[in-house]
Structure 1
Amino acid sequence: MSTRAGPVGFIGLGMMGLPMSRCLVARGLRVLACDTSDAARAALADGAPEGSVAFAPDPAAVAAGAEVVVLMLPNSRIVAQVMEGPRGLLAAARPGLLVIDMGSSEPGETRRLAGLLAERGAALMDAPVSGSVAKAKTGTLAIMVGGDDAAFARAEAVLRAMGEAIIRTGEVGSAHAMKALNNFVYAAGLLATAEALRMGEALGLDLGILTDVMNASSGRNIATETKARQEIISGRYAGGFQLGLMRKDLDTAGSIAAETGVAASLLALCRERWAEAVAALGPSVDNTAIHKMVRKG
């Protein structure tokens, strides 16, 4: 796709959405954006080539002006508002419209909204991302994609403008499910890493060497490799993913456990610990700040 093609709709210019939409512009796509923040709209327009960025007053106007619409929104409740609310996407949905939900939504809700769009001849794909704000800025996110071949063929160029690893996961809703389960596994590893570091500290061990041992041994995980020394031992606590968003993903995994009837006891523990951390530290601190809760005991 290029500036000669129709614009890509983009709703949600937040911490991840803004750099992702900038990547679309940088790769020659025109963007028709919608966000309630004046500052976010100004940031997208700043430095953009003439004619590459336009703004719509509401989601319906985005759907009316673009055949492919990306959503990068905080949760399923807000996605439903954007879809079903006054002047929402459904109000302007038509045959051929493709909506790509790139946030971390609940799989069951994703399937429900996909059904509503299908009734109007439109389609929805789920394409949540993995990676930090830094990767969003460079267009190197990992993107999981749920949807059929026809929808993927239309979405692929847009997705590749924002990510380098595209993983197809199956039917609509499967990508949101896999994202939530992946983040549960990450959270469990991060919690174990934080507790191991705290015990090592209490023993007077060299935490840098402990990290080296874990990374050279069976305890290695993404938290030991990219968070232990860089964010926790350093005291920086700035890994690029908010504590509240981690709790939201754990709650989504919890809804999957409830739906499937799986007694996920470790998931329940992680949800409890993250809820405690959010209550004590607030949702906006970095997810690695769970270590602060571990240190308090």
Structure 2
Amino acid sequence: MADQGIEVGFIGLGMMGLPMARSLVARGFRVLGCDPSEAARAAVAEGAPAGAVAFAPDPAAVAARADVVVLMLPNSRVVAQVMEGPGGLLAALRPGTLVIDMSSSEPGETRRLAALIEARGAALVDAPVSGSVAKATTGTLAIMVGGEDAAFAKAEPVLKGMGEKIIRTGAVGSAHAMKALNNFVYAAGLLATAEALRMGSALGLDLGILTDVMNASSGRNIATETKSRQEIISGRYAGGFQLGLMRKDLDTAGSISDQTGIEAPSLALCRGLWAEAVEALGPGVDNTEIHRFLGIRASR
């Protein structure tokens, strides 16, 4: 259990942030939440011990009170608004404060904000997560962390309140870069799996057996293991990660390709197909619906 004296500011109580904040409370931390959604605020407080949850009206009020502040926001644009906009976090940061950016942010923007935070005598680590809402709920996320040793030492107990596998990745910005590249590889595997299932279906193959063959052979990947039978063949399409979030991570990987000058044709293919899928199905559907989109696309 955490030291009951530690209060963690938590900005962003969305689909992932809400269960992550609740996980911290379950492990003995006090949480100072900040989110415009009244329903999200009520959900964090529901069932919490007396005094374990409080709320701040804006990010500046979080900075004035909490020594550790977690950001779980949709993208770098929103992170910048929370940091630098009216009532923002940056101007109110006190020396010694630690900001943990767990959002899916762009590495270059993360480094820019880290420099601004350092100029105020505070520190930032980037700590994006891998795992579904289910893992956030149970506090078993995998968390990548970029930052200096002292900042990591301060962040580690808080991160362990939300995840079970903590992987240090290097300097600030490296974790956001590695998450984007990892998710590109996942998207490529999911796309290949969906295409193989489509072709197998057209041949009249037993897709369950095809999945068993892939999982016992060189085609095995996380999509064949955890998405093929469970989400795609079943038609459930509820793997826990939105199509729009997948596109966002692919776009971040694309910015890395541009910055490094490394040509990545398979990444370009994935970005194009996911952009088409989001336009056709909307960003809120599950990312496994890339399989359904391929069927729609073939029928045009």
Aligned to 2:178: 178
2:288 equivalent in structure 1: 288
Q: What secondary structure, in the 3-state scheme, does the structure 2 residue paired with 1:63 have?
A: helix
1:268 maps to a residue whose letter is: A
State the partner residue of 1:78: 78
* Aligned equivalent of 2:54: 54
Moved more, 4-13 or 278-287: 4-13
* Residue 145, structure 1, aligned to residue 131, structure 2: no
Q: Which amino acid aligns with 2:159?
A: L
**Structure 1 residue 6, shift from structure 2 partner:** 3.2
Superposed counterparts of 1:144-293, under 5 Å? 144-293=144-293
Tell me what 2:69 maps to.
Answer: 69
User: What amino acid is aligned across from residue 148 of structure 2 in structure 1?
Assistant: D
Q: Which amino acid aligns with 2:279?
A: A
Instruction: Quote the RMSD (CA, aligned, Å).
Output: 0.7
Q: State the 1:4 CA deviation.
A: 3.1
Task: Output one character per residue of 1:223-256: Cα deviation in whole Å (capped at 9) or x when no partner.
Answer: 0000000000000000000000000000000000
Shift of 1:103: 1.1
Shift of 1:3: 5.3
Letter in 1 for 2:107: P
Q: Determine if contact 1:240/1:286 at 8 Å carries over to the other structure.
A: yes
State the partner residue of 1:118: 118
Flag as ranges the 4+ runs of structure 1 deviating above 6 A: none
Distance 1:156 1:237 in 2: 34
- For the 8 Å contact 1:257–1:264, the answer to whether it is kept is yes
What residue is the counterpart of 1:17 in the other structure?
Answer: 17
In the alignment, the residues of structure 1 paired with residue 110 and residue 203 of structure 2 have an alpha-carbon distance, to the nearest angstrom, of 47
Structure 1 contact 98–122 (Cα < 8 Å) conserved: yes
Give the distance between the partners of 2:214 and 2:103, measured in 1 at CA. 32
1:259: Cα distance to partner? 0.2
Q: Which amino acid aligns with 1:11?
A: I
Alignment correspondent of 2:38 = 38
Unaligned runs of 5+ in 2: none
Q: Could you tell me how far 1:175 is from its partner in structure 2? A: 0.1
* Partner amino acid, structure 2, of 1:61: A
Q: SS at 2:168's partner residue? A: strand
- How high is the TM-score relative to the length of structure 2? 0.98
User: 2:157, 2:23 → 1: CA distance?
Assistant: 12
- CA deviations 1:132-191 (Å, max 9, x no partner) are 000000000000000011001101100001000000000000000000000000000000
Name the SS of the counterpart of 1:14 in structure 2: coil
- Structure 1 residue 293 displacement after superposition: 1.4
Q: Is the CA contact 1:13–1:21 (under 8 Å) kept in the aligned structure 2?
A: yes
Could you tell me how far apart the structure 2 residues matched to 1:214 and 1:191 are?
14
Query: Could you give the per-residue CA deviations for residues 240-280 of structure 1, whole angstroms, max 9, x where no partner exists?
Result: 00000000000000000000001100000000000000000
- SS of structure 2 residue aligned to 1:22: helix
Query: TM-score with structure 1 length normalisation?
Result: 0.99
For 2:170 and 2:2, the matched residues in 1 are separated by: 28
CA distance in 2, matches of 1:155, 1:79: 19
Give per-residue Cα distances to partners, 1:111-135, cap 9 Å, x unaligned. 0000000110011110000000000
Q: What is the rounded CA distance, in whole Å, between the counterparts of 2:267 and 2:227 in structure 1?
A: 21
| Counterpart code for 1:153 | A
In 2: Cα distance, 1:88 partner to 1:140 partner: 30
2:23 & 2:4 partners in 1: Cα distance?
17
CA distance in 2, matches of 1:288, 1:119: 43
